[in-house]
Amino acid sequence: MFTKHTIRGSINRSHRRALGKSEIVRHIAVFLTLLCSIVVGTCSAQAERRLALLIGINEYDHLPRLEKAVGDVNAMERKLKGLGFDVTKVINPDRRTFNIALGRFAARLGPGNLAFLHFSGHGVEIDGDNFLLPRDIPKPESGQRDTVKYEAIGLRRLISQLTSTGARARVFVIDACRDNPFEQSGVRSIGSSRGLARVEAPAGNFIMYSAGYRQRALDTLGPDDTAETSVYTRVLLNKLDKPGATLASIARDVRKEVQAMSQNIGHVQRPAYYDELSSPLVLKPGAAETAPVTSAVTPAPQVIQTLVPQVPTANDKQIELLYWNEVRDSKDIAALQSYVTQYPTGSFAPLAKIRIANLRKEKRRQQAAQRQKVAALTSTDPVIPTDENRAIAVVPTEEPEPTAPAPVSTPAVPELSVRDIVLGVQKQLLRLGCNPGRPDGAWGPRSRRALQSYARHRKVRLAALEPSQELLNELNELNARVCPIQCGPRHTLSKGRCVRKTCGRGEVLTSRGNCVVRAERTRVKKQRERVRTKRRARVERRRKPRGQARIRVLGDPSLSIGVRRPSRKRRVCADRERALCEWDH
């Protein structure tokens, strides 16, 4: 039988068992919650991983040295480490080290990461593409544009390489908007004179240039400026750690401040940036910006144009004046056209259009003179100077000034055939004293030697000893003799002309340019004549056939003919032939 205490005890044990199960369930739930929070935190930390690659080059092997590039990288390293970036710094890398650093940096990036790349050094724009120059970039020869493209690091390829990693955002800071280093090397122009070209980046990229299109970035503000970094980098460093500021707002503030600082010393530098991010990027979280975001739809990405005044204020007028002062004396039509494009209703737009028209008119005149010169060179009856040692200057005829306004389009110069180019180069080398022989349109060893002599005396280095349109244009521009006068053995140089040598009385000038006594000359001449006679006789003996015989036909001696004597074995005729022939021994 169950008593009251027994029933009560069983009820208490059941209650305690139920309470124990609920406690276990509660602990398990707490443990799972903690585990999920740890996993979520790890995932978020992985998603917010920040990687930076900083490259600075001061010491170039074949290009002018820079002063602030390495200082920019050192200062940027300290700033980015404070913002939580894992920084990799590369100083003065050659091409191989540059590519290895890029490959390792791209291999570390993954989906959800933030990539930051900063380059400070020399850069150049060629055919609309931007190229970053490593330390060991070779000094190109005349017109070797492809050499620079192959040996440099293309910015478009670099952006594509980092975009393929899947990082959620890629930030590029390119401080390479300096003067073209190849214009200072004494070779033909390679790339634009200064600055870098505009770029169309894929989505997820944010590109910042230290200067605008065809502008030069300042390293210092004057001789008293002893800062470690360049003007653009020092302003950017002061703005990067602004709490709650987006990268786009930082770029706008930097552009405004750098523009004002350069304007104070009479220079135009307006940094450009290209925003292709889908959402605002904040490097340092903090107080939200005062300007609320009212638009829920992200606007289509657009390239920020430089030097485009939004509202015509007094400050913009000063910028326009500085811009005009830089391009008004330029002979580059593209530079003046850029001013008209940026300021179509500016104060100096009419003057810029007039100067563009005059430059185009002058260009057409030069092209007409060039066509006349080429037509004279490629005529079927070439005029060869009587004195091969006199340089003939080709002076283009002046054309009258056209009264009608010049059209916008300029006629293209017709391309010459290969034979016309060879013929023109040969005539020009002959005119400049580098004798390639008679111009015949065939490029041979003698023409190559003449071109090699031209390069040696002109002190220029040619890519190849072959004719080209560029070489023909270069030769046409020269009006003075290049190769020195070379006289033969019988002549001597006197007052810029070859004069025949004279010998004393009783002496004769030989073919080698020596003066000998006439009797000695006669003796030598007779001796040479005897040698020639013996040589001719020896040759005649070799040509005379051996063993000649005469065959006389019986009955008619006039029909005898000369034939070669048969061999000794066949000297006796056969029995049937004895009646018809006989041998004359």
DSSP 37-64: HHHHHHHHHHHT-EEEEEEE----SSS-
Measured CA to CA, the distance from residue 45 to residue 433 in angstroms comes to 76
Structure confidence by residue, pLDDT tens digits, 421-436: 898 899 989 888 888 8
* Residue where a domain stops, chosen among 476, 507, 527: 476
- Domain's final residue, options 45, 60, 75: 45
Please report, for the domain that includes residue 247, its CATH number: 3.40.50.1460
Confidence class for position 55, pLDDT limits 50, 70, 90? very high
Residue 292 covered by a domain:
no
Q: Determine, yes or no, domain membership for 481.
A: no
- Tell me, yes or no, whether 175 and 260 share the same domain: yes
Give the count of domains, the chain.
Answer: 6
Q: Which two tokens stand for residue 16?
A: 């305690």
Q: What is the pLDDT of residues 124-183, one digit of tens each?
A: 888 778 889 999 888 776 556 677 788 889 888 889 889 888 888 999 999 887 666 665
Q: Domain for residue 256, yes or no?
A: yes
Same domain, 217 and 273: yes
210 and 275 belong to one structural domain? yes
Give per-residue pLDDT as tens, 375-421: 776 654 444 444 444 444 444 444 444 444 444 444 444 567 888 88
Q: Which residue has the higher pLDDT, 577 or 369?
A: 369
Q: What are the DSSP calls for 299-324, one per residue?
A: PPP-BPPSS--SS--HHHHHHHHHHH
> Would the pLDDT of 114 be above 90?
yes
Q: Are residues 121 and 20 in the same domain?
A: no
In this structure, the answer to whether residues 325 and 388 fall within a common structural domain is no
Question: Residue 90: enclosing H or E segment and its boundaries?
Answer: strand 86-91
Residue 482 within a domain? no
**Token digits for 369?**
């003179």
Same domain, residue pair 274 and 256: yes
Report if residue 295 sits inside a domain: no
User: Could you give the 3-state DSSP secondary structure of residue 522?
Assistant: helix
The predicted structure's pLDDT at residue 309: 37
Select, from the ranges 17-31, 243-257, 272-286, 363-377, the one with the highest average predicted confidence (pLDDT): 243-257
* Burial (0-12, 13-18, 19+ Cβ within 10 Å), 353: middle
Q: Are 309 and 339 in contact (CB under 8 A)?
A: no
Give me the amino acid identity at 256.
K
Domain match, 24 and 163 both: no
**H/E run at residue 548:** strand 548-551
Q: Is residue 79 part of a domain?
A: yes
Residues 432, 566 within the same domain: no
**344 or 289, which is more confident:** 344
**More confident position, 387 or 102:** 102
Answer for the pair 64, 181: CB distance below 8 angstroms, yes or no. yes
Range of the domain at 327: 310-376
Top-confidence residue, 318 or 330: 330
Let me know if residue 296 belongs to a domain: no
> 54 with 6, same domain?
no
Query: Tell me, what DSSP letter sits at residue 409?
Result: S
